[in-house]
Structure 1
Amino acid sequence: MSGNTIGTLFCVTNFGESHGPAIGCVIDGCPPGMELSEADIQHDLDRRRPGTSRHVTQRQEPDAVEILSGVYQGRTTGTPIALLIRNQDQRSKDYGEIAQQFRPGHADYTYWHKYGLRDPRGGGRSSARLTAPTVAAGAVARKWLGEKFGTQIRACMTQLGELTLPFESWEHVPHNPFFAPVADVQQYEAYMDTLRKAGDSCGARLRVQASGVPVGLGEPLYDRLDADIAHALMGLNAVKGVEIGDGFASAAQRGTLHGDSLTPEGFASNHAGGILGGLSTGQDIEATIAIKPTSSIISPRTSIDVQGRPVDVVTKGRHDPCVGIRAAPIAEALLALVLMDHALRHRAQCGDVRQAVRPIPASNA
């Protein structure tokens, strides 16, 4: 199956299935000499893993990562880094009744038509379980970017179903199960409790940001940095929309507002989301993603089986009533992978370029 690799110089190939013995990835192109251990990766996996609150799937997976290759005496060797995460809490019997049915909103119908067969256990290859290796690879990229440029990448939830989350501070994000930038999340917990009891699900919006990004990352025309970011973020399960900077709100803005003026002290605003002409400006990279409601719900829905006969589908098992709740670490990882790849590509082509005038400070309004 093609389409499992992302990146040009920093290449990550993802493998495995939701209910197989293990999942993982192979990273090819990581520069040698960087200190790397399982602990550097495990922190981000722990932020993504299931079972961390009552608002997410109760599948109990430790998501303990194993480094199989590419590291010697605690440092990367420049050879492929193989990362393995063993599945330990599969309940394949939950999917026995729907093996011959197509779940609405899932990839069952499309996979069956494309490949002639499908793995019904937890969605198989199309499961969000496969985002764990992405997060593991993203942790490696995040570490290299942080040491090389001081880059910091973070994400937060900005909308949960119909509820908009005001931005108070990034400091709140690590201290609640929603990755919410607010101090009080009681209303969001109550909302999720009501939703779960109703056997329904909801979508979400998330903001993902990278600061400390050097100027000039990206390529014209079709390998623009924003195009590759959108491509990567759309590769996250359930994402149905990506915005860079002000995104669709730009359509209602005037040029006198949207154009980010330059001053000796830095940019006066950041409506462009830190990217102009497909190249990073040195400002914060800002992206927003829209995530659809979880398709696996216990409420009966009409569908068909493999014979084309009408059926009522009830999806049993353990599922997130809002997949957006655990999406923040995944969005961060995908952004890190793109920035890492473009940083290496920029170094390969333009490493000898020296500006006659130093870039202006990358202030953000």
Structure 2
Amino acid sequence: MSTFGSHFRVTTYGESHCRSVGCIIDGCPPGMLLTEADIQPQMTRRRPGQSAITTPRNEADLVEIQSGTEFGITLGTPIGLRVLNKDQRPKDYGNKTMDLYPRPSHADFTYLEKYGVKASSGGGRSSARETIGRVAAGAIAEKYLRTAYNIEIVAFTSSIGSISLFPPSTTPSTNPAFLNLLDTISREAVDSFVPVRCPDHSINDAMEKLVGEYRDRDDSIGGTVTCVIRNVPTGLGEPCFDKLEAKLAHAMLSIPATKAFEIGSGFEGCKMPGSVHNDPFTAAEAVSTVGTDGQQEAAPNPFAPKKPRLVTKTNNSGGVQGGISNGAHIYFTVGFKPPATIGQAQATADYDAMDGILEAKGRHDPCVVPRAIPIVEAMASLVIMDAVCAQRGREAMRALLPNLVKDGEQLTR
């Protein structure tokens, strides 16, 4: 399906070389200031042609708001977003050899098996070009989350090939340097480490060199993106089948070229005893009831983000317990495979099962990881936004009911 979300619903459209790509967003709250300037920065971070280690396809990816706002204010009606494809070159893909062969590890064969027809140029809907609509919608969700809850979502490159920001043998959730990075990393800092976006100068340079070597050999390489979500209110997530980490995994593994997802301590946590892995609780710092203007607030706002009365001393859980956010940082890592389309000649078989040689043409990234960072952030925004809508709707309905008391004991709160 091309729709993601239950309350904040995003439907993307478009193929790699059609006239435009974009999305329709249904469920955006009314009354929020919104213009293209709020969306374009993330589009620019995702666009092709950013450096020598990305595809040379030259697209500005300028987003246009088609509906759902008036005078720069959201109306609560569906928001239409469009990005024109200007640097289309379907002829780069439409040669006789490529028409005969499904590209190894690409979606040509599976799309044809499923639909009985496939796009003749690029990857069609399987192309990363489809993610433009996700990034645009994610920017809108993120603006609401930042405005209403001060939620911050930051992703960065954590490995490319065998080069890792932190040694693979370490457990990230117990690594002080990693935990400090989660506390402090910003998008501005990430983008200062060009072009790979790994927040360590020497490792970033080594990664850039490695990607360049694969590019020069007409080959590709994969890697991982780590993402942290800060200031998440407690209570988000819908057990049992829509647990918050399950929705995050769903969202991340829907991104093209993804092959792995882990949250919190991840696979390394499986090696730890429960006595080490458990996250003990402790009292949270007192929450001030003084408003931003210095005046005492008359009454708590029932729609304001909930403050945890307890916090965990450690965060091996990655901010989610029982499928519900506990107020700690949510952090996870997504694995991206090497891009399937490479320039090397490959021994394979054609659609008639005859052996042959395929040498793919076109413009492709030797590594998708640096450009995947805003896509990961966007999908995280959509998951959290949808969870906020579900939880706040539940709380609003609960607020209309009286608290239940039995024998002097309050049963509900």
Paired position in structure 1 for 2:283: 264
Deviations 1:53-97 (CA, angstroms, capped at 9, x unpaired): 001001000100000000011110000000000000011111122
Residue in 2 aligned with 1:94?
92
- Aligned identity (percent) is 43
The alpha-carbon deviation at position 191 of structure 1 amounts to 1.3
- Count of matched residue pairs: 355
| Maintained 8 Å contact 1:68/1:81 | yes
Instruction: Choose which of 232, 238, 247 in structure 1 pairs with 2:251.
Output: 232
**Match status 1:122 vs 2:99:** no
After TM superposition, give the deviation of residue 124 of structure 1 in Å: 0.8
Contact residue 145 and residue 385 of structure 2 kept, 8 A? yes
2:357 to 309, 312, 322: 312
- Where does residue 162 of structure 1 map in the other structure? 162
SS of the residue aligned with 1:351? Answer: helix
State the Cα distance separating 1:120 from its structure 2 match: 2.7
Alignment check: 8 A CA contact 2:247 2:383 kept: yes
Select which of 170, 174, 190 maps to 2:191.
174
Moved more, 332-341 or 309-318: 309-318
Match for 2:264: what amino acid? G
Q: Which residue identity does 2:196 align to in structure 1?
A: F
Report the TM-score when normalising by structure 2.
0.83
Say which of 213, 219, 223 aligns to 2:242: 223
Matched residue, 1:361: none
Aligned position for 1:42 = 40
Alignment partners' CA distance in 2, 1:234 and 1:135: 15
Write out aligned runs for 1:2-81 (5 A).
Answer: 3-81=1-79
User: How far apart are residue 165 of structure 1 and its match?
Assistant: 1.9
Is the Cα–Cα contact under 8 Å of residues 195 and 208 in structure 2 kept in the other structure? no
Preserved CA contact (<8 Å) 1:108 1:120: no
**Deviation (angstroms), 1:311:** 2.1
Give the match for residue 337 of structure 2: 292
* Residue 189 of structure 2 corresponds to residue 195 of structure 1: no
Deviation of residue 186 (structure 1)? 2.2
Does residue 205 of the first structure (1) align with residue 224 of the second (2)?
A: yes
Aligned residue for 2:301?
none
Give the match for residue 134 of structure 2. Answer: 134
SS of structure 1 residue aligned to 2:122 = helix
RMSD of aligned alpha carbons? 1.6
Partners of 1:215 and 1:142 in 2: how far apart? 18
1:183 aligned partner, one-letter code = H
Alpha-carbon offset, residue 353 of structure 1:
5.5
1:23 counterpart SS class: strand
Letter in 2 for 1:116: G
For 1:360, the equivalent position in structure 2 comes to none
Contact 1:173 1:182 in 2 (8 A): no
Question: TM-score under structure 1 normalisation?
Answer: 0.94
Between the aligned partners of 2:24 and 2:250, the Cα distance in structure 1 is 20
Check whether the contact 1:11–1:27 (CA below 8 A) recurs between aligned residues. Answer: yes
> Does residue 1:85 correspond to 2:102, yes or no?
no
Shift, 1:253, TM fit: 0.8
276, 279, 285: which one pairs with 2:324?
Answer: 279
8 Å Cα contact 2:230-2:328 kept in structure 1 = yes
SS in structure 2 of the partner of residue 210 of structure 1: strand
> Which residue pairs with 1:330 in the alignment?
375
Give the counterpart letter for 1:28 in structure 2: D
Q: Which residue identity does 1:170 align to in structure 2? A: I
SS at match of 1:63: coil
Aligned partner letter, 1:339: I
2:55 and 2:363 in contact (8 A); partners too: yes
The structure with more radius of gyration: 2
Quick one: which amino acid aligns to residue 121 of structure 2?
A: R
Distance of 1:191 and 1:49 partners within structure 2: 21
Tell me by how many angstroms 1:162 deviates.
Answer: 1.2
SS at structure 1 position matched to 2:348: strand
Change in Cα spacing, 1:282 to 1:353, as seen in structure 2 (3 Å) is farther
Letter of the 1:108 partner, please give it. Answer: D
